[in-house]
Chains A and B, each alone.
Chain A
Amino acid sequence: QVQLQESGPGQVKPSETLSLTCTVSGGSINNYYWSWIRQPPGKGLEWIGYIHSSGTPHYNPSLKSRVTISVDTTKNQFSLMLTSVTTADTAVYYCARVGGGEWGQGTLVTVSS
């Protein structure tokens, strides 16, 4: 069974860049779409974007100017970068394969000085 695990800093300063990596285990990252989704504390879920293993990304227009999603098939990983963060970007960030309903456990990223 495929498992996903997010990793990265739990705190980022305002105006800096949030960077997270998702490691896929138990299966290949190839031939699927891999998403990032976030959830501010006490709020609902927001899809950030996805990338196909071939390397083509698609982003939510609400974040498009600040988001980059990349994939490294040799490491079975994909990554998220979110630039110019503010306190509004404080959230639990999940990586997921929506088509298979597989999600990581999530990682809380707090934007604070």
Chain B
Amino acid sequence: DIQMTQSPSSLSASIGDRVTITCQASHDIGNFLQWYQQKSGKAPNLLIHDVSNLKRGVPSRFSGSRSGTDFTFTISSLQPEDIATYYCLQYDQLPYTFGQGTKVEIK
């Protein structure tokens, strides 16, 4: 199985701060990487697909990038509504695997 090592597991930041989350894949997964936002009690919501492509309607403060098997998710300016847990998902190889999640809180 492809292991997705996501870090940090949690973070606390101020409104307006730049927030960065990383996922490292144990093997090459190409660009088959999605980022999800999950608010409390809700289903995960796709924000970014294929590493860096924003789903239609997702604010431009969210972005994604790749360097080899390292993937980065960035919120350029944290907003109160961004409080959630974020997950990466690789869908290159079966079984699909998720990162462990990053809980984002407001400082």
Count of chain A to chain B residue pairs whose CB atoms are closer than 8 Å in the complex = 45
Chain A residues 28-65 with CB under 8 Å of chain B are: 35, 44-47, 49-50, 58-62
Name the distance in Å between A91's Cβ and chain B's nearest Cβ: 13
Within 8 Å by CB of B89, from A60, A98, A102, lies A98
- Residues on the A chain within 8 Å of B1, using CB: 61
Take A101-B49, A101-B55 as given contacts and tell me if A45 and B98 are in contact as well, using a CB distance cutoff of 8 Å.
yes
Q: Within 8 Å CB of A106, what residues of B? A: 43
Q: State in angstroms the CA–CA spacing of A98 and B98 once bound together.
A: 12
A47 touches B96 (CB 8 A): yes
What A residues does B98 contact at CB under 8 A? 44-47
List B contacts of A58 (CB < 8 A).
94-95
Query: Assuming A94-B43, A101-B34, A101-B49, is B101 touching A44 (CB within 8 A)?
Result: yes
- Bound CA–CA A47/B4 (angstroms): 13
A103 interface neighbour in B44, B95, B97, Cβ under 8 Å: B44
State whether the Cβ of A99 lies closer than 8 Å to any Cβ in chain B: yes
Q: Are B87 and A45 in contact (CB under 8 A)?
A: yes
Residues 63 to 111 of chain A near chain B (Cβ within 8 Å): 94, 98-99, 101-106
Min CB distance B22 to A, Å, is 16
| Distance A49 CA – B87 CA, assembled complex (angstroms) | 18
Binding site for B on A (CB under 8 A): 35, 44-47, 49-50, 58-62, 94, 98-99, 101-106
What are 18 A-B contacts with C-beta separation under 8 Å? A44-B87, A44-B100, A45-B87, A47-B98, A49-B95, A58-B95, A59-B95, A61-B1, A61-B95, A62-B95, A98-B34, A98-B89, A98-B96, A101-B55, A103-B43, A103-B44, A104-B43, A105-B42
Known: A50-B96, A94-B43, A106-B43. 6 other contacts (CB 8 A): A35-B96, A49-B95, A98-B91, A101-B34, A101-B49, A103-B45
